[in-house]
Amino acid sequence: MVKHSVLPMEKFFTRERFGQPQFLAGLLLLVFLAQCAWLVGHSLSRLDMAEAYRINEGLRQLHGGRLAGTPPTTETRQDDEANPATWFFTMDGFDPYHSPLWYLTGAGGLVIWPKPLQMDSLHYWGWLAHAPYLIFGALLGASLWYVARRLYGNAGGYTALSLYCFSPGIIRATSLWFAQPEIGAAWGTFGTIFTAIAVAHTLYAPREVVLWNWRRILLLGVSLALAIGSQFSLLVIVPMALALMYYVAPTRRLAATVIWACACGIGLLLLFTSYALHPGVFVQSLRHASFFGGTWRSFLMPGAYGQLVSQLAQSSPALVAAVPAAVVTYLAWPRARYFGNTAPLLVAVIFLLLAVATPHYPGLGFNLIAVPFLFVFVAGITADLLETPQRGLVLSCILGLLGANGIWNLWELARASAG
């Protein structure tokens, strides 16, 4: 059952914040970053066209050139049309899936590089290009730990973070190992959903609602901007956040609406800022944006579901066994059916359905975004089962699963880097 609310503690430097659990979680995140760094180090011998284009677009905008993901100028049109990285652009030259924020993220770390980007120095400046995504991956893991531990206690936090830190899909996305840079969208989405829930919880406190929540409103706005700016189709999280706030605070819906609207305004302003405050280009880009590129016919194709299961297995083999067992437990055991378990399961199902409806890009992004929510759900069911008389059996099963998953992931990591 839920043991803790998702409320912040009054003091920052306390044993509750900096104790043994946080130390162990930090060690796990260091192991995670070490795995990502291992792959990054082995990938710096090459630079594919798509990554080079994304970096150059971001740097061009940062240095005062045209906005990334927008129509090329006369001087750059021929080079852009010959670049395979622009295959998904519209006929008018707009990127229908990403805002300039997506490009600026990858180029942000290179602003401090003092020399031209040459292939013979890729082993050095390549780390700067990967740094933002390594930070996003670590922050998503820390956020996952914080949420799972606040909801389910230490057992839930350790379970969720262990699954995360040895997830091949998460590691690939963080290190950009033959993967699109979608970890920022995943962190933004995770932050949006659980910040919205946290804000709604605080509406029961006897304080001035909007002013007291300004930090969470700002965090919610930043999360929205990062998610939607990294993948336009994640606009779906805007109504999802409001629905969750209404459910958590049914008697304070007006206050929830005000907070939600303020956060949306902040997110919109940040997104507008990524367009260098050019309203015309901003409006044109949104007109060409693909907010939902799926087709409902995909739900009638058995192959789409097989592809989904295959992608989930590649993201985290442990989920193949853990999710069915957790779902059966959730359906069969009334004690497990409470909001703390239902919310992450419901959000994960929505994103998995969107992945089925979008079998091509950006459907893989929906699949990746669902994975952290599945980790939280599995952690919640595990924490509940550990409170039953069968604690010994449950503990043996979960430790065996986490151990096997970790060993398999390290073995695959060695094979991938060797190949």
Q: Residue 329 — φ and ψ, nearest 5°?
A: -60, -45
For 57-81, letters b (16+ CB in 10 Å) and e give bbbbbbeeebbbbbbbeeebeeebe
**Does residue 167 carry a pLDDT above 90?**
yes
Question: For residue 53, is it within any domain?
Answer: no
**Average pLDDT over every residue of 134-145:** 97
The whole domain housing 273 covers 20-43+131-418
Question: For residue 137, is it within any domain?
Answer: yes
Task: Quote the longest CA-to-CA distance of the chain.
Answer: 72
What six digits make up the tokens of 73?
């100028």
Q: What is the residue whose two structure tokens read 């130390």?
A: 23
Single out the residue of 165, 152, 196 nearest to residue 384, CA to CA: 152
Question: For residue 57, is it within any domain?
Answer: no
Per-residue pLDDT reduced to its tens digit, 62-79? 988 889 988 875 455 545
Question: For residue 64, is it within any domain?
Answer: no
d(CA 33, CA 11): 29
Question: For residue 82, is it within any domain?
Answer: no
Question: For residue 71, is it within any domain?
Answer: no
**Does residue 7 carry a pLDDT above 70?**
no
Single out the residue of 222, 228, 198, 227 nearest to residue 212, CA to CA: 198
pLDDT tier at 116 (50, 70, 90 boundaries)?
A: confident
How many domains does the structure of the chain reveal?
1
pLDDT tier at 212 (50, 70, 90 boundaries)?
A: low
Question: For residue 110, is it within any domain?
Answer: no
Question: For residue 396, is it within any domain?
Answer: yes
**Does residue 234 carry a pLDDT above 80?**
yes
